[in-house]
Amino acid sequence: MSTTNVLAVLLLTFTVSWVAFARRRAPHRYPPGPKGLPVLGNLFDVPTDDGWLVFREWSRRYGSDVVHAEALGKHIVVMNTLKAAKDLFEDRPSIYSDKDQPVMFLELCGWWRAWLMLPYGDSWRMHRKLFHQSFRPQAVSQYRPQQVVAQRKLLQLMLDKPEGYSENLRFAIGSSILNAVFAFEATPGDRRIKLVEEAAQAAQHVVHAGVFLVDVFPILKHLPTWFPGAGFKRRAVVHKELVEKMFKIPYFEYKSAFNKGTAQPCFTGKLLSDADGEDTSERDDLFMNLAGTAYAAGTDTTYGVMMVFVLAMLLYPETASAAQKELDCVVGPDRLPGLADQDSLPQVIAILREVLRWHTPLPLATPHRAMSDDHYEGCYIPEGSIVLQNIWAITHDENTYPDPDSFSPRRFLTLDGKLRDDVPFPDAVFGFGRRVCPGRYFTMDSMFLLMAGILATFNIEPALDEHGVPIEVRAEFEHHLLSPPKPFRAVFKPRSEDARRLIQSCA
């Protein structure tokens, strides 16, 4: 028998004994869920794709807001309604503010640097405090010049490369965050923006692969890379190198300019300026992880939202037309819309809200971890459980949003075109409790500027095939952790010659 097979047999034997022991000592009533197999539990029921759809179907099948699965002794609890999510994450933050700590993803692949994934405790609080100082509602206005520049860059790129809208969006979003965090002026093809895209893709592949054996048996992380069956270690080495580059390259590039006195003010500059004590590697890690997380976390999710916006405007041109009429009336043809116009543009705000609700780019929130035993609605949630928020199910609750699968910004508007107070903003997309997205104010401002700028100056039309026939586009989305639309073709055309001249004059 090979070394690999011996190792597998030993691990399986240990797993059988461990799970059997755990079940004998804990005869509790868990939230409802599918019946599992002996030893393996629900290992083959827990989805790696479309989890948000599967968990909502379980919720309906079992008539429960909260559902449960167990695989190899690990409990998974999913909140499928706003009430359940708030009851746990907002009313019981001392239990549910921790994050799950998968060994493969965080430790071996290097994503421990993303401070949003830190375990709940003093280190997380310190990171959160430093980040919040620069991204709280009263502070984000300092980044508006960079966000306005990103809006203008995007519109000029759409004018120059109307079919390259996807790359244009990624660049505009990445350059805006890069400028706010590091004060770098990016150009298309910037390696630092490309690193974020490559790291995000690598992360998707790891998450999509499911649970690694090392996550169940952390001792396996000590295996040498050459050991039979340690392919996960070799994969992690390549992944970690990419993550380290993404965090380190822009930080040390900025720090070098800061030490020479040539750096421009930005988020990282404030961290360095306000720092006390010696310049140590520990301090570098703290600042690097804060800056890199802002840079990485904001880019991919905002890009996903903007891709949903483009898809929706392509599929529902009458919605775009209504917003354009409002923009023409409020803003006029001589300037681009700005953040000061938000209160006067309810149609645009309604589109932004509906884009977030219709298909959030992160349908399942990143896993939390129960820090102690708990009971909810008479059901037991054991310490160490993975606890998930099904954001997609919450934003598709027909009791709150009738006909939830339809894209309809009008659900947020009164008959006379004002924003309704009785239809809630889909803030579930930013999470709950102490782990709510700390960059949400910056993100909302950026998305408004980009959406309003596009609607004011462009019509989004289907691309044509070789016979001049419009290519059909459908609302289809990726099935992974991040769920942007599947690739589709579209063309951005200036609404008028006045719009073209306005874009060129603002470049």
For residue 283, the domain's CATH number is 1.10.630.10
Q: Could you tell me if residue 453 is inside a domain?
A: yes
For residue 364, the surrounding DSSP H or E stretch is none
Low-confidence winner among 277-286, 466-475, 497-506 (lowest mean pLDDT): 277-286
pLDDT at 311: 98
Q: For residue 11, name the pLDDT band (cuts at 50, 70, 90).
A: low
Tell me: the pLDDT tens digits for 143-164? 999 999 999 999 999 999 988 9
* Mean pLDDT of the 283-295 span: 95
Q: Could you tell me if residue 17 is inside a domain?
A: no
Mean pLDDT across the chain: 92
Q: Could you tell me if residue 31 is inside a domain?
A: no
Residue-level length of the chain? 507
Position 169: which residue type?
L
pLDDT at 26: 52
Q: Could you tell me if residue 111 is inside a domain?
A: yes
pLDDT at 15: 52
Sequence-ordered list of residues with C-beta below 8 angstroms from that of 114, at least 6 positions apart, any chain: 289, 292, 293, 296, 297
Phi, psi angles (nearest 5°) of residue 470: -55, 135
What domain range is 204 assigned to?
51-66+79-506
Low-confidence winner among 52-66, 199-213, 355-369, 452-466 (lowest mean pLDDT): 199-213
* Mean pLDDT of the 85-100 span: 97
For residue 239, the surrounding DSSP H or E stretch is helix 231-260
pLDDT at residue 90 above 60? yes
More confident residue, 331 or 26: 331
Q: Could you tell me if residue 44 is inside a domain?
A: no
Provide DSSP, 46-61: S-SSSHHHHHHHHHHH
Q: Could you tell me if residue 312 is inside a domain?
A: yes
Position 149: which residue type?
V
pLDDT at 14: 54
More confident residue, 19 or 89: 89
Q: Could you tell me if residue 41 is inside a domain?
A: no
Percent of the chain with pLDDT over 90: 81
* Mean pLDDT of the 446-455 span: 98
Q: Token digits for 462?
A: 């289907």
Q: Could you tell me if residue 165 is inside a domain?
A: yes
pLDDT at residue 427 above 90? yes
Is 109 annotated as a binding-site member?
no
Q: How far apart are CA 211 and CA 43, in angstroms?
A: 10
Residue 495: burial class (beta carbons within 10 Å; 0-12, 13-18, 19+): middle
Total-model pTM: 0.92
* Mean pLDDT of the 460-473 span: 94
Q: How far apart are CA 63 and CA 60, in angstroms?
A: 5
Q: For residue 451, name the pLDDT band (cuts at 50, 70, 90).
A: very high
pLDDT at 295: 87
* Mean pLDDT of the 346-367 span: 96
Number of structural domains the chain divides into: 1
